């Protein structure tokens, strides 16, 4: 009996420990349930990662000097690699249509290492190549090959970037492109609420990794670049980028994983879309958007800033919005915003609207609160 009595305190202690473990698990589950989980999805080059960087600017810890300094080689490589792509296009099939005036400068671009440390001594060559009429003609045809739009931004700021003391600015970092691989996660506290945002690679070979992010997601923010209406995929030069985004959005919007998940649609790169409408027809018979009724931009006649152009821009934007919304087969509400991911103020305004919707629990079937 003595032995039995002696074991009682140990049994009680074990029970106390089990109860504590159970309480801790319940508290952790409750804490996890209170976290707003946002999943950024979209095809490659849509601007997802730029939205992700904007969240860090708006709500996270600012980049310190070392982090900004570390982006120097990324900016340099974005310049060199993309200028090379333009030059390669100038020299490729159909080269006779490009009027190259400074063949020496254009030819030297191919000799610059992709990871070169750029400096002021290279300014003359880089500027001469970029400003060459043939290179600018090729740039106007950039929808025919894979090149990043940020090149124009960096070339306009080349003198500043080539200074020996150069440290990338916030806007330089937003413009910089590093392809997302796998899953990137950031945590924020916004108005006293815990948010976790996930960014995942958008290329086709990255999408199989998304499955790991699907558990208990509060809202999906799907990003599509509306400026890409005349561009093809990096991975498949037979597939229009917006067509690919539509296929992907249909899959995501109607997925069993997101049946009770808020769906927010960012139609991104509105600034580039606006610029492109003045230069590239939106509707092309036998090729794209034959059911678009207009009003249309008459290239070379309808000028940006005029009421006629604004009406055509609004009509084309709304047409693409309806193309995406039509993919919704679950009769769930989709909250759509026209965005410019490189514009911090615009992202802040849009996200505040999304945040209010999320926190108030007004998204159909979301059950946030």
Regarding beta strands 219-225 and 193-200, do their DSSP bridges make them parallel or antiparallel, or are they unpaired?
unpaired
Query: In the structure encoding, which two tokens stand for residue 258, read together?
Result: 């997101």
Residues, the chain: 369
Query: Can 302 be counted among the known catalytic residues?
Result: no
Q: Is 236 exposed, middle or buried (0-12, 13-18, 19+ CB in 10 A)?
A: exposed
Query: In the structure encoding, which two tokens stand for residue 136, read together?
Result: 């600018």
Contact 222, 210 (CB under 8 A): no
Instruction: Tell me which of 125, 172, 177, 339 is the catalytic residue.
Output: 177
Cα–Cα distances in angstroms (integers) from residue 17 to residues 4, 27, 31, in the given order? 20, 15, 21
Query: Can 115 be counted among the known catalytic residues?
Result: no
Instruction: Tell me which of 132, 149, 172, 199 is the catalytic residue.
Output: 199
Instruction: Tell me which of 146, 196, 203, 330 is the catalytic residue.
Output: 203
Beta-carbon contacts of 336 under 8 Å, excluding residues fewer than 6 positions away, are 264, 265, 267, 321, 324, 325
Query: Can 17 be counted among the known catalytic residues?
Result: no
Query: Can 45 be counted among the known catalytic residues?
Result: yes
Query: Can 231 be counted among the known catalytic residues?
Result: no
DSSP state of 207: G
d(CA 52, CA 196): 11
d(CA 39, CA 268): 16
Catalytic residues: 45, 50, 177, 199, 203
């Amino acid at each position: 009996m003595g032995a039995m009595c002696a074991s009682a305190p140990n049994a009680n202690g074990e029970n106390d420990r089990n109860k504590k473990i159970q309480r801790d698990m319940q508290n952790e589950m409750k804490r996890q349930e209170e976290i707003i989980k946002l999943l950024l999805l979209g095809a490659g080059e849509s601007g997802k990662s730029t939205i992700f960087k904007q969240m860090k600017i708006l709500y996270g810890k600012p980049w310190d000097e070392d982090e900004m300094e570390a982006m120097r080689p990324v900016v340099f490589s974005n310049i060199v690699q993309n200028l090379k792509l333009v030059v390669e296009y100038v020299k490729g099939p159909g080269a006779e249509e490009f009027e190259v005036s400074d063949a020496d400068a254009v030819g030297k671009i191919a000799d610059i290492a992709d990871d070169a440390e750029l400096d002021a001594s290279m300014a003359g060559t880089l500027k001469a190549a970029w400003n060459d009429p043939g290179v600018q003609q090729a740039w106007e045809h950039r929808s025919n090959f894979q090149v990043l739009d940020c090149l124009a931004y960096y070339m306009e700021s080349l003198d500043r970037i080539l200074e020996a003391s150069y440290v990338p600015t916030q806007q330089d970092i937003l413009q910089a492109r590093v392809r997302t691989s796998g899953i990137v996660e950031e945590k924020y506290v916004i108005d006293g609420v815990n948010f976790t945002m996930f960014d995942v690679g958008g290329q086709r070979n990255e999408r199989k990794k998304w499955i790991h992010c699907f558990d208990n997601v509060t809202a999906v923010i799907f990003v599509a670049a509306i400026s890409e209406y005349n561009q093809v995929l990096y991975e498949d030069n037979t597939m229009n980028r917006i067509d690919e985004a539509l296929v992907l959005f249909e899959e995501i919007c109607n997925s069993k994983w997101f049946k009770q998940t808020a769906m927010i649609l960012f139609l991104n790169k509105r600034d580039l879309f606006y610029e492109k409408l003045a230069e590239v027809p939106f509707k092309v018979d036998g090729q794209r958007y034959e059911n678009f009724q207009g009003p249309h931009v008459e290239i070379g006649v309808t000028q940006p800033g005029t009421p006629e152009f604004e009406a055509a821009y609004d009509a084309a934007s709304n047409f693409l919005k309806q193309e995406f919304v039509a993919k919704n087969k679950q009769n769930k509400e989709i909250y759509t915003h026209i965005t410019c991911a490189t514009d911090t103020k615009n992202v802040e305004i849009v996200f505040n609207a999304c945040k209010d919707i999320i926190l108030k629990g007004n998204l159909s079937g979301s059950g946030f609160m």
